[in-house]
Amino acid sequence: MALLEPITLSGVAPEPVTLRPGRPDDAPGILDLRRAVATECPYMVAEPGEIAASPRGLCRKLAAWEADAATLCLVACAQDRIVGLSLLRGARRRRVAHNATLTLMVSLSHRGLGIGGALLDASLAWASAHPTIAIVTLTAASDNRSAIGLYRTRGFEIEGTRRARLRLSRTRFADVHLMARLVKTISVACQ
């Protein structure tokens, strides 16, 4: 589901940065961003060689996400380059449809400028206004300090930690935190 209006962030980078819904023709730029982040950041699940070479599949997904009321894909554009991406996907089944999962990344060249925070804020605002979504969840490697720092500033809490779920090298593993934040009040009736 598209945000109605693009958001322009001025003063964060030398060039204006615009946040807007991702479109099918963004697929090549998004793949470039994913490959670049996967190359320098050890905490992404996909390695660079595991990211699709052809944009065709992602192009189809972006068209589907645009039409899906429970998905928000946002890109951050600096001039014509995609420098940030957030993807918030609501769960399909009715019993879990109040859960949405977030993925977030910003190009190394544009980090620390507030772009990740702005993508996250826009996604959380959208989720708050969504008729069904009540909880935003995500996973983060326990030593990914910038990501965890960002999520904590936006009210996410660590709900649990899965031991050694991410392999960083042949001999090094990282724990993975499960983090979540409520975006609306839910009354819980537990038996």
Residues lying near ligand COA in the complex (CB under 6 A): 37, 41, 43, 104-106, 111-117, 138, 140, 144-147, 149-150, 153
**Helix 27-40 with 56-67: angle, nearest 10 deg:** 110
CA–centroid distance for 85 within its chain: 6
Least distance from C-beta 154 to ligand COA, angstroms? 8
3 with 71: CB under 8 angstroms?
A: no
Nearer to ligand COA, 38 or 133 (CB): 38
Least distance from C-beta 32 to ligand COA, angstroms? 14
The C-alpha atoms of residue 118 and residue 115 are separated, in whole angstroms, by 5
Nearer to ligand COA, 69 or 168 (CB): 168
Nearer to ligand COA, 133 or 138 (CB): 138
Nearer to ligand COA, 51 or 147 (CB): 147
151 with 140: CB under 8 angstroms?
A: yes
Nearer to ligand COA, 71 or 107 (CB): 107
Least distance from C-beta 28 to ligand COA, angstroms? 19
The C-alpha atoms of residue 40 and residue 52 are separated, in whole angstroms, by 17
135 with 100: CB under 8 angstroms?
A: yes
Least distance from C-beta 122 to ligand COA, angstroms? 12
Least distance from C-beta 86 to ligand COA, angstroms? 8
Sign of the CA dihedral running 27, 177, 173, 115: positive
